[in-house]
């Protein structure tokens, strides 16, 4: 994302989905009504278990996560308080503080879209099933569509369904 003077690393963790069992999040044929239902219990630990060591290895002191107000209303592990407590763990473990930044946690998704620009929308991902395309049916894709409908921008996303 050089136009905003940030780098973005993409880590493909799709190979671990088979270890998640029979969760709706690991089945691309399943639609979920909201991000807090039918997810892997404490599934965010899988994410943080990958990005914390990666950040430490790369010398990063911040991890940015795009959680929204809607996310934080569904599960405690998507809140600012949880992110702050988890940030303390890297320091406690002796690696220095790696801070989880959740800059949009108090904004709903349409407010977040209104902060963006077309170039940023091309780089953003919402689909929980694919890094290559947006399925259009998962909770991430559906909330993305709703956010764009309520925003001042038209949705540039190509959905497969």
Q: What are the φ/ψ torsions at residue 101 (nearest 5 degrees)?
A: -100, 130
Contact 63, 100 (CB under 8 A): yes
CB environment 91-116: b (16+ within 10 A), e (fewer): eeeeeeebbbebebbebbbbebbeee
pLDDT-derived band at 130, boundaries 50, 70, 90: confident
- CA geometry: angle at 53 spanning 48 and 56, to 5°? 120
Of 105, 111, 49, the closest CA to residue 80 belongs to 105
What pairs with residue 13 in β-bridges?
none
pLDDT in tens, 41-99: 777 888 898 899 999 999 999 999 989 998 898 888 899 999 999 999 988 988 889 99
pTM of this prediction? 0.75
How is residue 86 written in tokens? 């988890």
Tokens (6 digits) for 11: 């880590």
3-class state of residue 29 by DSSP: coil
């Amino acid at each position: 994302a050089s136009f905003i003077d940030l780098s973005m690393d993409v880590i493909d963790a799709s190979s671990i989905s088979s270890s998640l069992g029979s969760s709706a999040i690991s089945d691309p044929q399943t639609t979920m009504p909201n991000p807090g239902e039918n997810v892997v219990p404490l599934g965010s630990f899988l994410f943080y278990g990958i990005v914390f060591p990666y950040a430490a290895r790369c010398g990063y002191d911040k991890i940015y996560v795009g959680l929204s107000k809607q996310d934080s209303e569904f599960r405690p592990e998507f809140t600012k308080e949880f992110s702050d407590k988890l940030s303390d763990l890297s320091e406690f473990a002796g690696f220095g503080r790696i801070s989880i930044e959740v800059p949009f946690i108090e904004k709903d998704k349409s407010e977040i879209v209104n902060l963006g620009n077309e170039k940023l929308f091309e780089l953003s991902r919402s689909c929980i099933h694919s890094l290559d395309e947006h399925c259009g049916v998962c909770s991430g894709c559906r909330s993305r569509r709703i956010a764009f409908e309520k925003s001042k921008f038209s949705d540039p996303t190509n959905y497969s369904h």
